[in-house]
Chain A
Amino acid sequence: MVTKVYIPRDSSALSVGADKVASAIAAEAKRRGQDVKIIRNGSRGLYWLETMVEVATENGRVAYAPVKPADAASLFDADFLNGKSHALCLGLTEELDWLKKQQRLTFARVGITDPVSLEDYIAHDGYRGLKNALNLSGAEIVKAVTDSGLRGRGGAAFPTGIKWNTVLGCEAEQKYIVCNADEGDSGTYSDRMIMEGDPFVLIEGMTIAGVAVGATQGYIYLRSEYPHALATLNEAILNAEKAGYLGANILGSGKTFNLEVRRAAGAYVCGEETSLLESLEGKRGLVRFKPPLPAIEGLFGKPTVVNNVISLATVPIILDKGAQYYADYGMGRSRGTLPIQLAGNIKHGGLVELAFGATLRELLYDFGGGSFTGKPIRAVQVGGPLGAFLPESQFDTPLDYEEFTKIWAVLGHGGIVAFDDTVDMAEMARYAFEFCAIESCGKCTPCRIGSTRGVEVIDKITASKGKPDHAKSIQLVRDLSDTMLNGSLCALGGMTPYPVLSALNHFPEDFGLPCG
């Protein structure tokens, strides 16, 4: 009898040796004459336990983690192929507390299926959303997405349905669906996990978007730092094309949708939607003035839906289970779930998908297990390099777009980076300006010049602690931040003051000011 063994192909699993583990297990199986089929799945998202090896048994999948190549022989000795006990055995994967406490909707299949097997995708409820969508009018699909309350998961949180409705209402020979897969925010990796672990859900979501608004061409703009996601996406697209889920006459519906992956080239600003469109057109990624909105004049001047990976990958479940099913999760105006990414100095880093409303403290301690180094968590940055730093006193804030706005912070793409008490917040503020200077597209002055001046002013603050011109430099950084906040063309310059001012306001002692 063939035993199925699951070993992730996810980049993070690879980063700690998953390929070597797979080779070692394959070699050991061969040596012992055991009939084993190794399936390279996505990651379950318990990254501190990678490489996690799972064995399919009649009771369900049994997990062994973290496995090193040298453990292969002892796993076979312990009869792990029958789910038997071993020092690394964690029991049934589905029963792991960390997973049981989650509400996985967008990530329902990630880590479970073979990412490039269309058969597996369909066996796990894949393409049910598209089949429903093909029986609906464009307006009805858009209404379902609007009613679900889904908001842009890239960070801006703009209602997805409203964006689609604008494109639906435009008369044009050609419209486009563009997926923003330029996941450049530090502390985020949920887009990557979807693309490497369940690419069909993104393909299905984009196809539904195309059918809804009448777009026949889609592009996935993928950051060049994700070579494994590129390979997985391309393989999945090919498989979908072969089976008639992409291309002309999708599933006999008469509708056409073609999909292509385009590689970005390492410019953070191209995660901004208008800069991304410029880049897709083959130009420098300079931010465009808005209006016109991309929904009206987007790629090549045509009406274009630009959505983040997670937004698009969430559409299939909405069309499968209904808008209300999705909207029943969450709080306030933040409906549904958010895939949260625990990162930085955290003991149990990984992917936690939960309905909106959980607090940072629950994430950092109940899921995250505190800091990796065992020291107190002093600050967290939520929402990437343009997100605010939050001190311990704000850890009870629920994860909700509006609640975060109230404390002058952003949820962004759902990345949480933890720092222990060795962090120097003045250094982090300096880095925020430095990063903005490196990545600025240069089109607007507040961002282009302000970022460089910002680095200089922080250096002055650090050097002038206790001296007469210290207060002047502090005022200067506040004035500069005000200019950048209000005068920048896009969020890069416009939000760099979030990390800078939050660091200054919550951690003044690091800037040579009296505590609190």
Chain B
Amino acid sequence: MQDIEITQDERLAIDALIVKHQRIPGALLPLLHAIQDSVGFVPESIYPKIAKALALSVAEVHGVVTFYHHFRTHKAGEHVVQICRAESCQAMGSNALEDHAKKCLGVDYHQTTADGKLTLEPVYCLGNCALSPSVTIDDEIYGRVSSADLDALIAEARR
């Protein structure tokens, strides 16, 4: 298990979240969301602590974290760019858009740019299918995105 350094503040924040969530039914997903929302990822070094609080095995915690695409075990870039790969967006040229994004960012999916600014992720439907192709940057959604639009959005995020 690769241990990624987290700060003392982050550790304290996580401890508080564990206490807050440990008694609710089916606590693991809400807890993992809370941790990721707070520190940006789910550090593997805290699996034992979560496991103990929720009466699970470390393997179970690991199993859940890795089952779901949403959870990450490493810090992402400052901003996360998601490009929708689903059928509706494909019908509107998302394949070209993803090729363009990979080329201009110099990364593949699940990778972060060298400057640590942007992480590129695929997503399978954003529910914006009447205005395909769709992209998100963090929690902001954009529809009818052309390659030029994407360049502008990326430039803005980089600023």
User: Using a CB–CB distance below 8 Å, which chain A residues touch chain B?
Assistant: 11-12, 14-16, 47-48, 50, 183-189, 191-192, 224-227, 262-268, 279-285, 300, 341-346, 349-351, 372, 381, 385, 415, 417-420, 423, 428, 431, 435, 438-439, 441
Contacts and interface: CB of A to CB of B under 8 A. Distances in A.
B30 A343 contact: no
A176 B139 CA distance: 31
B70 A189 contact: no
A342 to B, nearest CB: 6
Contact of B129 (A225, A267, A417): A417
Nearest to B141: A15
B90 interface: yes
Interface centre among B27, B64, B67, B69, by most A CB within 10 Å?
A: B67
Given A11-B128, A438-B124, 5 more contacts: A50-B131, A282-B28, A300-B25, A341-B130, A372-B92
Contacts of B88: 186-187, 343-344, 415, 417
A86 B146 CA distance: 29
B141 A14 contact: yes
A185 B91 contact: no
B129 A265 contact: no
Contacts of A300: 25-26
- Leading 7 A-B pairs by shortest Cβ distance: A349-B130, A186-B86, A282-B28, A343-B129, A15-B143, A265-B68, A344-B91
B125 A186 contact: yes
A263 B70 CA distance: 11
Nearest to B71: A265
Contacts of B126: 11, 225
A351 B128 CA distance: 12
Contact of A350 (B27, B68, B130): B130
Nearest to B136: A225
Contacts of B124: 184, 186, 268, 435, 438-439
Nearest to B139: A227
A66 B72 CA distance: 38
Contacts of B60: 283
Interface in B78-92: 86-92
A263 B33 contact: yes
A16 B143 contact: yes
A344 B84 CA distance: 12
A226 B25 CA distance: 23
B112 interface: no
Contacts of B63: 284
Contacts of A415: 88, 129
A282 B128 contact: no
28 contacts: A11-B128, A12-B130, A14-B140, A15-B143, A16-B142, A16-B143, A16-B144, A187-B87, A189-B129, A225-B123, A225-B125, A225-B127, A264-B29, A265-B29, A266-B70, A267-B68, A280-B26, A280-B29, A281-B26, A282-B27, A282-B28, A283-B64, A284-B67, A345-B91, A417-B87, A417-B129, A420-B91, A431-B90
Interface in B18-42: 25-30, 32-33
A185 B92 CA distance: 16
A428 B87 CA distance: 8
A343 B141 CA distance: 17
B141 A344 contact: no
B130 A265 contact: no
B29 A263 contact: yes
A419 B91 contact: yes
A138 to B, nearest CB: 24
A265 B69 contact: yes
Assign chain B's interface to a size class: 35 or more
B132 interface: yes
A283 B65 CA distance: 9
A282 B131 contact: no
A244 to B, nearest CB: 24
B91 A418 contact: yes
B129 to A, nearest CB: 3
Contacts of B134: 15
B125 to A, nearest CB: 5
A343 B131 CA distance: 8
A284 B64 contact: yes
Contact of B91 (A47, A264, A423): A423
Given A16-B143, A187-B88, A265-B33, A282 B26 contact: yes
A188 B131 CA distance: 12
Contact of B128 (A12, A185, A262, A381): A12
A282 B142 CA distance: 32
A449 to B, nearest CB: 18
B29 to A, nearest CB: 6
A188 B130 CA distance: 9
B157 interface: no
B54 interface: yes
Contact of B87 (A225, A268, A344, A439): A344
Nearest to B140: A14
B29 A262 contact: yes
Interface string B116-159: 00000001111111111010000111111000000000000000
B32 to A, nearest CB: 7
Contacts of A341: 129-130
A344 B126 CA distance: 13
Nearest to B133: A344
Interface string B42-83: 000000000000100000100110011111000000000000
Nearest to A185: B125
Contacts of A280: 26, 29
